[in-house]
Each structure stands twice: as C-alpha cells, then as structure tokens.
Amino acid sequence: MKYMSSAGDYKVDRPGRLVGRAGRIAPDLKWPFVGTVAITFVATIVRLLGPLVIKGGIDQGITEGDRQVIVTAAAIFVGLLVVQYFAAAISQWSVAVIGERYLVRLRSVVFSRLLRLDMGFYSRSKSGVLVSRMTSDIESLQEFASEGAAMALTNLLTVIGVAVALGLVDWQMALAVFVVVGVLLGVSVIFQRQARRAYDQVRERIGRVLATLQEGITGVRVVQAFTQEDAQASTFGRVNERYFDANMDAARAISWYFPVVALLRVVALAAVLGIGATRVLDGSLTIGTLVAFLLYLDWFFQPIINLSNVYNLLQSALSAMAKLFELMDEPVVVEDRPGAHDLTEPVAGTVVLDGVSFSYEPDTPVLFDVSVAVDAGERVAIVGETGSGKSTIAKLVMRFYDPTVGTISIDGTDLRDLTERSRSDTLALIPQDGFLFSGTLRENIAYADVSAPDEAVWNVMRAMGIDDWVRSLPEGLDTEVRERGGRFSAGERQLVALARAFLSDPAIIVLDEATSNLDPETEIQVEGALRVLLSGRTSVVIAHRLRSAERADRVVMVDAGRVIAEGTHDELVERSAKYQELVEVWRRGTK
Amino acid sequence: MSERQSRLGDLNVGIALLWRVLVRYRRIAAVSIGGALIWMSMVVWVPYLVGRVIDAVVSGSGMSNVWPLLGLIIVAGAIQAIGISLRRYYGFKVSYRAEADLRNEIFTHIQRMAFSFHDVTSTGELMARASSDLSQLRLILAMAPITLANLVMFFVVTVVLVIIDPVLGLTAALMVPALLLTSGRFASRVVGFSFDLQQRLSELSHVVEETVSGIEVVKSYGQQAQQQKRLDDKAETIYDAAMGMAKQRAIYRPLFEIIPALGTVAVLLIGGIRVVDGAMTFGEFVSFTQYLATMVLPLMITGWFFANLPRSAAAASRIDALLATAPEISEPRRPEHLKPGQGEVRFNSVSFAYPDGASVLKDVNLVIPGGTSVGLVGATGSGKSTIAHLIPRFYDVVQGSITIDGVDVRELRLDELRSEVAVVFQESYLFSASIEENIRVGDPMASDDRVRSAARLAKAHEFICEFADGYATVVGERGSTLSGGQRQRVSLARGVVRDPRVLILDDATSSVDAIVEAEIQEALKQVMAGRTTVIIAHRTSTLALVDNVVFIEDGRVVAFGSHDELLETVPRYSEVLAADMGAIA
Ligand SMILES: Nc1ncnc2c1ncn2[C@@H]1O[C@H](COP(=O)(O)OP(=O)(O)OP(=O)(O)O)[C@@H](O)[C@H]1O
Ligand SMILES: Nc1ncnc2c1ncn2[C@@H]1O[C@H](COP(=O)(O)OP(=O)(O)OP(=O)(O)O)[C@@H](O)[C@H]1O
Ligand SMILES: [Mg+2]
C-alpha cells in the first residue's frame, strides 16, 4: 500500500518532532499556553510552601511547646490553600480551553485534508479506518486534553519544584532520593520503549477492529442471505482477539512498571528515614526538617506516579497524533493548479478528451489514448462492454482522477486549470449506484443547493413525473431516506439521484447508467424529462440499453480502453462490426 | 424531570450489566481484588512504621532500634509491589477480556438482527455501541478492584487513626466523607455534560462517515465546503459540552487536593497542640500526616470512579438495550424440515407493509410450481424486491403465509431455509476480500472447480482471469475497484455457487451490456433447469426465457401467465415493457 509508506517520519519514537508539528497547527494558542504554564507554576509554588509552613510549625511550635506558633502556622497554611485553590482552578480551566480549542482546529484541519484527497486514496483505504482517524484517534487526544493535560502539566511542574525544594531543605537526604530517582528514570526508559510499541499496536489494531466491524454491519444482509453469520463472527473474533492481545501487551508493561515505582518509593522513604534519623540523633538536623522532607518526598513520588498514570493517555495521544499526521501527509494528487480560474460565463459546455491514457494501478492501464470531443449542447452516448472503461472516462471528466497522459478540457480550459468550484458548478455526474445521504428527501434532492425553494424541487419532480410518488409518501418531502437511501427501492433511489442532478442545473451532465434499475416505462418518462430539463446542455450518457445510444447525437464505442468507433447510431451500424454485433444481440433480445 | 428519571433507570440497568460482567469473570476479578487488598494491607503499615521511627529518634534511643523498622518498611514495600502488580495485571485482564467478549457478543448479535432492525439503525450507532460505549465500560471495570480496596482502606485507616488518637482520628477521618461527597457532587454536575458530549461525538462521527461513504457525491457537487461547515459546527458543539465539563472540573478538581491539605492543617493544629499537651507522641503525629498523604490518591481515584460511573453505566445500559433486543425474525420453537421437492413456492393471501410505510403487498396469491422459472415484472417501487425478500424470510409477512414445498417458511430453521433459497440482491455488495472469497460466501465448502464454473456461468471468469492476481484479486470496500458490471457478475456467481432449490435474481444483469447479458441468459438456462428460479427483470429478452411472468402493479398480482400470453391479454403489461420492445429499428 503506497499510502502507508509515506508515514515513516512521524513514528512515535520522535515525540519531539510530533509535538513540534502538533504545535504548528494552532500557532495562535502559543501565548495562551505560556500564560497557562505561568499560572500553573504559581499554583505549584504556593503548594510547595505548605511543607515549609509545617516545618516551621513543628520546629518552632511543637518542639518549643508554643501553641501560638502552631495556630499561626495553621492559619498561614489555610491562607496558602485559598490562593492555591484559585490558581489551580484557573490553571485547570485554561488548560481545558486551550486543549479543546486545539481539538476544534485539529478536527477541522484533518477533515479538510480528507476532503481534498482523491478518489484513488478512497478506494485504497478502508472507510472504517478513515472514520476512526476522525473519531477514535481524535477522541483519544480529547481524553488526554480533558483528563491528562492539566494533570501532566501540574505534575511536571511539581516534580521540578519539589526536586529544587528537596535540594534546598537538605542536600544529603536529597542526594539519596536522587539516586533512587536515577534508578527510576532508567526503569522508565525501558518501560516507555516497551509501552510505546504496545500502544502503537493497539492503535493499529483498533483501526482494523473498527473496519471489520463496519463491514460486518454494512454487509449484514449478504451475510444473512448466505447464512455466513458464524463465519463472519469468527473472523471478527480473530481480529478482536488480536486487539485484546495488543492491549494485554501494554498491560504487561504497566503491571511491572508501577509496582517497581511503588517499591522505589518505599526504598527512598527508608533511605531518607535512615539518613534523617542518624542526623537528627547527632543533632545536625531538626525533626521538623525531617518531617517536611517526608512530606516533600510524597509530593515527589506521587506526581511521578501520576505522570506515569497519564502516560498511557499521553502515549495513546501521541500514537493517535502520528496516525493523524500520516493522513495529513497523504499527497493531494488532484488539486487546482496555481493560477486556476473559473470558466467564463456563460459556459458553453464543450468537453474534449485529448490522447487520454489512464491506469488505477501502476501497471494495469485501463484507458489508452482516448480522444473524444463533445460539442456544446451535444448528447453523446458511450457504449461498450462492461469493464471496458466507460465509467472511468466519466470519472476522469469529473476529475476524480487525473489522466496519466493527455488532457481533458472544458470550453478549452484544462480541467487542472479550473477551480474546483467552477468545475463542480459546471459538471454533474449521476453515478451507477445513486448514493443518498441519510436525512430527508428534500435534503437529498436539494443537496447541491440547500437554499433551493420547495417550488424548484417540486418543479423538477413534476418534470420527471415523480411528484405523485413523493406525495404518496407518508411524510412527503420530509421522508427520512435512511442510510444510503435504504427506505426506497433501487429504482426510486435512482430517481432521487436524477432529481438531485437536475436541480443542480449543470451545463454538462454525465449519466453513468443512471437509469439501469428503472422499468422501461419510467425510464422513458425520465428521458423525456432529461430532454426538457437539459435542453441545450451537453450530456454524456453511458448506458447498456441501446435505446439511449439511438437517441444520442453521436455514439462513442469503447472497447478494452480504446475508442474503436465514433459516429451517429446509423453510421456506426454500417461502419463498425462490433457495434453491429451489439445492436444485433440487443435487437434479438427485444423481440 | 422524566428525562432525569429515565437516566436514573438507565443507570440501574447499566450497573446491573457491569455487575454481571464482574461476576462472569469472577476468577480473574478475584485475583485482581486480592492483589488490591494485599497492596492495601501493606500500605497501611508504612505510616505507622514511620511514626515508630520518629518516636525512636525523638526519644533518642539510637539507631539500633531504627534499622529493623526500616527493614520492615522495605518488606512492606516489596509485598505491596507484588499486590500492585497482581491488581493491575488482572484488573486489565478483566476489563479487556470483558470488552473483547462483549464486543464479540455485540457483533454476533448484530449479525443476527433482522433486516427491519438494520433498516432503521445506522451503522454509526452500532459502531458506537461496539467501540466508544465499550471502552467507557472497560474503564470503569478496570478501576473496580482498586476502588473496592480503597473503600476497605478508608475504613481500616479510620479505625487505626481513631485507635491512635480518637479526637484527632475522627477529625482527620472527616476528610473521607468530605472528599466522597465532593466527588459525588462533581459527578452529578458533570454527568449531563458527558451525556451531551457522547451524543455530539457520535453526531460528528456520523458526518464523517457519510462524507467518506458518499465522497463521490460530495465531490461531484462540490459540497466540500458545506460538509466542512457541518463538521466544524459539530466540533463547536463538542467544544461547548467539553467546556461545560471542564468548568465543573476546574471548580472541583482542586478541591481534591485542598481537602486533604485541610486535613493536614487540622492535624498540625489539633495534633500539634496535643503533642505539646503530651496527649500524643510526636511519632504518632507524623504517622497522622503520613496516613493523610497515603490516602490522597486513593481518595481521588475513588472520586474519579464515582464521577465516571454514571457515564459508564449509561454506556452499559445502551449496550444492554442492544443485546436485549431480540431479532424480529426468530427461529421456530419446533422447527420442521424441508420436504423433498422441487421448490414449489406459494404465496397464500400475503400482505406486507414495512413497519413505517404504507402497505406494499396486498393479498398476493401466487403459486410458482417447483422447478419452473418465473419473471417478476412491475414498475419501480411496485414491490418486486419486497417479494424476493419475503421468501427467504428477511421479513415476516404481516398476513397470510409463504410456503416452500408445502412448509411454511416460518416453521423452518433459518439456516436450512436460506441454504435452499438464495437471493442475488439488486445491489451487488462485495466484501473487501479476494474475488474468490467473495464467491465462496455463497458456499465456503465449494471446490475450486465449482467456484470457477459458477464464475463461468455468471460470465465473470473471463475478466477475473485478466486480472494479474486472478481469483486472488482483492477488491475494495463494497467492491469499489471493480466496474459495475464486474461487481454484478461476481455477485451473481456467488448466488450460483450456492446451488439452492430456489434461486432469486433481483435485477441481476442491470449493469451489463447486451452481449454479456445474452451470454448470461444463455448460461442461465443451464442454471434454471430443474430449479425454481425467480427473476426480476425489465428486459424482454430475459422474460422470454422464463416459463411464467407475474405482473405486479401497486402491490397486487394483476396477471400471471407466459410472456406471450400477457403481451396479448394484458395491455398494461405491454405498456410497461413497450419502451424496451422494438426500440432499435
Ligand atoms: N478504483 C479502481 N481501482 C482499480 N481498478 C479499477 C477501479 N475502478 C475500475 N477499475 C477497473 O478498470 C476497468 C474499467 O472499469 P470501468 O468501471 O471504467 O468499466 P465500465 O466500462 O464502466 O464497466 P461497466 O459497464 O461494468 O460499468 C475494469 O477492469 C475495472 O476492474
Ligand atoms: N426498508 C423499507 N422500509 C420502508 N419502505 C420500503 C423499504 N424498502 C422498500 N420500501 C418501499 O416499498 C415499496 C416497494 O419496494 P421494492 O424495493 O419492493 O420495489 P421494487 O419493485 O423492487 O422496485 P425497483 O424496481 O425500483 O427495484 C417502495 O415504495 C419502497 O419505497
Ligand atoms: Mg427492487
């Protein structure tokens, strides 16, 4: 898979680059972020003063037997707590604002990249995986933003602050602690390496679980029709189990690391007590300092444990980020060239394919040197065997792909020099399977122009002769069509797709077997509508029913990716043996 | 108000499910809980030992008394570590195991739900059940053992503190209810937002899904900007919900630190004075501060647990609701077997309506003699596919009955019925797998030869062989890397390889050209021989092949007879097909 390989750069083992790039998505959040760090810093400092107050209370109050000092110390402590509360609340709040704002941006950026990617990318990718980028991956960032980020920041600052405080209070005990922490750091490096691998796998495999799940749902009717429920379930079970295994790998890493941290914490405690006790006994340390030190010690290890606790959130977030960058690094193949312009109005609607060759996969060409010129207002039919490349021509005209060789132009402008806007205003494709979005019938018909008045919608439907049908629906235009238009019969779906295209009023319309599921009577009706609604417009009609070819101004016959004949129906009947055969067979069938 | 009540109702259902899961994995859960208790029972010793060390120091009794205490601390630490390891590993195991098993269960369940369920349930909704709802549930399961141990610990510590010094002990122990109450309040404030958040996340996911699956339409109408706007709007609503939560978090989270710190102040104040008064030793005072420090994290975790419980319980209740929905098409209690026969299909006064729609079939009576072929003709939306879907019992009739060789389809086991009645759907859905695997869906046991001969009959063999990988060619999702006609032929081969008693072809050659269609028709003769075949088609060439034609209008059978007969006797029939006849001069 081509698109997988471009990802290498942002593997999670380079968190620095990842974070740097992540930051560039929302540079305007930089200063708010700095402000947040500052307020968090204040909260941390205030917090760290606490044990010092206790030390004072012990050394000057308890040891000296002075109750007044104890009361004063307690009062100061409460004062500090009030300040700490507000500073911490503000810090929490602002971390959330920044995180959530960032996610709004990120969702937008990733989605806009998704929208720009070409159809080749979409047919290579599993839609479940693409959706999981925008959902489960970004949600894991969200989880980090809401649960982890504030925690990470506070604890990081606390660890640094406490380290300084420990050193200031008593460097000898601090040294013992730092030795233990050194060991801890070494252990953490090993853990991280192991966990990172596990979490990357987890991300990878959850994508697969979701994709399999999705196919199990969208294909459920076929599964049931062929009683493959058990087979399907066992396939899913395997994929699911692999995800479980990946999770358990991560769990194993966590399950040795955290106990070791807890053990080291106790070792540090014992070391401090050992050194501290010796020194209090020989009088070089006050008991208050020892107690304060013990309190700090808790505040030292606790944040480290907290950090490890949010580590898996962080790790998932980083893995997710890497996956997102992978997507954002997908090259945009089909894009407006610099200097792209709109067509000049009014659009005449000539379409010219000039020496077009194309292949979906590098070494299996589908079209060879196809040249076709469609005049403004002309109606051209493309006929040919199934799989000969007719739909491919239609897709190229829509610029779902760019030709490998040759050019396609509209009114003399290369498609690549045309803005996306202008192109989609000018062209409409009605594909083989009329896709409907879930939503109401109205929303689907007025898809290209949500503001279209009902009157316009009804006009189109009247012209097509489907107004009675719509009226007969219990909720008329407000009928919910459901996923992919599942509420309707196949022919009804095609009618809706046609109505949608007619309403968008394009200068050039491409019909790719858009009426294949209609009964002949309805088809005739639709063709009548086509003539009325599209009079004077250019149309390219792909159809297997030769009736359409017969009515077209010109017929283009495609065979195995080549244009083998071109002319009016009558001309072709005379000139082309292949076409003759086709007509022959067709005629036999209609007797 | 009622919404709130139903939420509470949901919570109970959800919690019941959580409990059932814990019971199901009680072995693993027990080890995890055991680990948590080991950890707890060791952890509570440490502050006490620290206090003893301090006392030894203050009383000046020398280091010889201190070293054994330090040794004990390290021993307690080591055992504690083992407890943590057990608790974590097996806690993960319970939660991931439960997650994986439930996901399998959900998947299997979805596979068995009838068409009518899938008609009205969106893919995204089902995906959410099996992904985000499940991970919500998993989180809470993972935390359950430690929460249990924490609750025990609070109790033990309170007792210890009270024993050391009743006055100070009770004061310090006040921290526990204070923190738990605070987190309870926090939870109830946050739960509404978290429901909203979940809801909005799934709305956003819906936008993404539709955009991805309808990308061709989006692009051909240049609706990228609109789609982007819809997504941005959803992202904005997510922001609002998330910030609603964040606000509560900003108010409450710091309290989880402040309250224990207030406990420390109380210890300093009351404990300090009591030490000065000689009512307690300095070491005991230090133990107190250490106990408080030890309890902070467990208290926070417990608070977190209860704060997330509603959200997880809601997720669990949604999962429960899905699993509790019985498939509308159910297996018969006492199934019959198919009688030997040629596959006679009989509709006895069948009426049918989709749950929300007007009636589609009205009093349909129809006999398709075994081994014969019949064509269904009718206008778009007249109910042809519906008839096709009733025979293998994808839906149940509302009135009347359908029999195959005299046995009501509702009396047959579904797999038996469906292995003898195969439908080639109007829409050719292929899985993203190899072409061979796609054909084999029809019959996984089929020999290579049979797969190939089915493909030949469906006129698919030729084009498949032209692919570099032949039958092993992997197609895109829904078969997206094949042309429309290629897809349709693979799907036809899938039906043919099944070799059923009754074969139903729903517009199965609509996307192929005339020549291939003629070839398929030729081949179909072979398939149709001696087999009941129902063909839905609009093409006269196909209708000329079948023994009888059923003409349907408005959900009623208006004529039955051979193609030629109907052409002569039923004017509407000729009208409907007129456009297809004699079109080419
Ligand atoms: N996305 C794709 N990736 C790779 N190959 C493709 C893709 N789409 C189509 N093809 C291949 O390109 C060839 C031409 O397909 P195309 O859809 O243009 O045929 P067609 O003439 O429209 O056929 P039909 O009449 O069956 O619709 C086929 O062999 C098909 O398998
Ligand atoms: N799942 C559904 N829920 C509600 N109504 C439905 C559903 N499927 C189909 N219908 C409606 O039932 C009627 C019959 O549909 P059916 O698919 O049987 O038509 P058909 O004769 O096969 O049409 P076509 O030739 O277009 O395939 C249609 O009016 C359609 O709108
Ligand atoms: Mg149908």
For A159-174, what is each residue's pLDDT tens digit?
A: 888 888 888 888 888 8
**Whether B585 and A550 lie within 8 Å, measured CB to CB:** yes
> What's the rounded Cα separation, in Å, for the pair A322 and A211?
19
Query: Which of A65-69, A489-493, B184-188 is the most confident on average?
Result: A489-493
User: What three-state secondary structure class fits A393?
Assistant: helix
More confident residue, B557 or B261: B557
Contact A254, B88 (CB under 8 A): yes
Q: What does each C-alpha distance from A221 to A489, B429, B480 come to in angstroms?
A: 15, 9, 18
Q: Which tokens belong to A457?
A: 């919608």
The CATH number linked to B318 is 1.20.1560.10
pLDDT of residue A1: 28
Classify residue B6 by burial, with Cβ atoms within 10 Å: 0-12, 13-18, 19+. Answer: exposed
Mutate to test the pocket of ligand 1, among A125, A357, A360 (most ligand atoms within 8 A of CB): A360
Task: Check whether B308 has a pLDDT greater than 80.
Answer: no
Give contacts of A 23-52 with B, CB under 8 A: 47, 50
How confident is the model over A259-316, as pLDDT tens digits? 998 899 899 999 999 999 988 888 888 888 888 888 888 778 878 877 877 777 887 8
Do the domain assignments include residue B249? yes
Q: What is the residue type of B134?
A: L
Q: Which residues of chain B lie closer than 8 angstroms to A233, CB-CB?
A: 104, 107-108, 111
Q: Are residues B98 and B28 in the same domain?
A: yes
- In this prediction, residue B6 has a pLDDT band, given cuts at 50, 70 and 90, of low
Say yes or no to pLDDT of A31 above 70.
Answer: yes
pTM of the complete model: 0.88
Interchain contact, A225 vs B422, CB within 8 Å? yes
The answer to whether position B124 is within a domain reads yes
Decide whether any atom of ligand 2 lies within 6 Å of the B147 Cβ. no
Pocket lining: A386 vs ligand 1, CB cutoff 6 Å: yes
Give the model's pLDDT for residue A199.
83
Which residues make beta-bridge pairs with B407? Answer: B404
Kindly state whether residues B426 and B530 are assigned to the same domain: yes
Q: How many CB atoms lie within 10 A of CB A276?
A: 25
Question: Does the residue B340 lie in any domain?
Answer: no
Q: Report if residue B331 sits inside a domain.
A: no
B399/B310 same-domain check: no
The CATH number given to whatever domain includes residue B454 is 3.40.50.300
Please list all protein residues whose beta carbon sits less than 5 angstroms from ligand 3, which is an ion. A 489-490; B 385, 426
Query: At residue A93, what is the residue type?
Result: W
- For β-strands A554-559 and A562-567, DSSP reports them as antiparallel
Residue numbers of the domain that contains B175 = 14-324
Q: Is B425 on the interface with A (CB under 8 A)?
A: yes
- For B246-306, the three-class secondary structure string (H helix, E strand, C coil) is HHHHHHHCCHHHHHHHHHHHHHHHHHHHHHHHCCCCHHHHHHHHHHHHHHHHHHHHHHHHH
Q: For residue range B431-452, what is the model confidence (pLDDT) as tens digits?
A: 999 999 999 999 999 999 999 9
Three-state DSSP string of B153-172? HHHHHHHHHHHHCHHHHHHH
Eight-state DSSP code of residue A361: E
**Ligand 2 pocket check for B390: Cβ under 6 Å:** no
For atom 7 of ligand 1, which residue has the closest CA?
B481
Whether the CB of B293 is below 8 Å from some CB of chain A: the reply is yes
pLDDT above 90: residue B404: yes
Dump the DSSP string for A31-88: HHHHHHHHHHHHHHHHHHHHHHHHHHIIIIIITTT-HHHHHHHHHHHHHHHHHHHHHH
Show which of B324, B358, B380 is a domain's final residue.
B324
CATH architecture of A351-590: 3-Layer(aba) Sandwich (3.40)
The residue nearest atom 10 of ligand 2, judged by CA position, is: A488
Contact B280, A288 (CB under 8 A): no
CA distances from B223 to A455, B211, B228, B229, B233 (A): 22, 10, 8, 10, 15
Same domain for B172 and B91?
yes
Residue A70: pLDDT above 80? yes
Atom 28 of ligand 1 has which residue's CA nearest to it?
A387
A295 in helix, strand or coil? helix
A453-511 per-position pLDDT tens digit: 999 999 989 988 889 999 988 888 999 988 888 889 988 999 999 999 888 888 999 99
Are A139 and B201 within 8 A, CB to CB? yes
The answer to whether residue B2 sits within a structural domain is no
Instruction: Give the minimum alpha-carbon distance from B427 to chain A in angstroms, rounded to a whole number.
Output: 8
Are the beta carbons of A525 and A407 closer than 8 angstroms?
Answer: no
Residue with tokens 């190939």, as numbered in its chain = B452
Angstrom distances, CA of residue B510 to CA of B479, B486, B513, B536: 17, 11, 8, 10
Query: Chain B contact for A368, CB < 8 A?
Result: no
Q: Which ligand is nearest to the CA of A520?
A: 2
Highest mean pLDDT (candidates A93-107, A283-297, B97-111, B144-158): B97-111
One DSSP character per residue, A223-259 reads: HHHTT-HHHHHHHHHHHHHHHHHHHHHHHHHHHHHHH
ipTM of the shown complex? 0.88
Q: Which ligand is nearest to the CA of A561?
A: 1
Give the pLDDT of residue A210: 87
User: Which residues contact residue B263 at a Cβ distance below 8 angstroms, ignoring those fewer than 6 apart?
Assistant: B172, B174, B175, B292
- Looking at the domain assignment, is residue B231 inside a domain? yes
* CA angle in degrees (0–180, nearest 5) for A361-A364-A367: 100
Q: Which residues of A touch B216 (CB under 8 A)?
A: 119, 400, 429, 431, 435
- Strand bridging mode A427-430 / A413-414: unpaired
A63 confidence band (pLDDT: 50, 70, 90): confident
Helices (H), A329-449: 390-397, 420-426, 441-445
Which CATH code of 3.40.50.300, 1.20.1560.10, 3.40.50.1370, 3.40.50.460 fits the domain covering A4-328?
A: 1.20.1560.10
Integer Cα distance of A234 and B4 in angstroms: 40
Residues B132 and B205 in one domain: yes
Q: Does B148 reside within a domain?
A: yes
Which of A488, A495, A515 maximizes ligand 2 atoms within 8 Å of its Cβ, making it the mutation to test the pocket?
Answer: A488
- Site to probe by mutation for ligand 1, drawn from A127, A366, A385, A430 as the one with most ligand atoms within 8 Å of Cβ, is A366
Does residue B453 share a domain with residue B314? no
| pLDDT for A320 beyond 70 | yes
Instruction: Give the pLDDT mean for B479-506.
Output: 93
Q: Are residues B456 and B352 in the same domain?
A: yes
The answer, yes or no, to whether any atom of ligand 1 lies below 6 A from the CB of B484, is yes
Number of domains in chain B: 2
Gap from A452 CA to chain B (nearest CA, Å): 14
Q: Is the CB of A490 under 6 A from ligand 2?
A: yes
CA distance B219 to A218: 22
* Alpha-carbon gap, residue A304 to A301, rounded angstroms: 5
Chain A closest-CA separation from residue B506 CA (Å)? 10
B121 and B269 belong to one structural domain: yes
Band (pLDDT 50/70/90 cuts) for residue B512 is confident
CA distance A121 to chain B (A): 11
Domain coordinates in residue numbering, chain A: 4-328, 351-590
Spatial contact of B171 and B319, defined as CB atoms under 8 Å apart: no
Residues in A closer than 8 angstroms to B53, CB to CB, are: 273, 277
Are the beta carbons of A138 and A110 closer than 8 angstroms? yes
In a domain, B337, yes or no: no
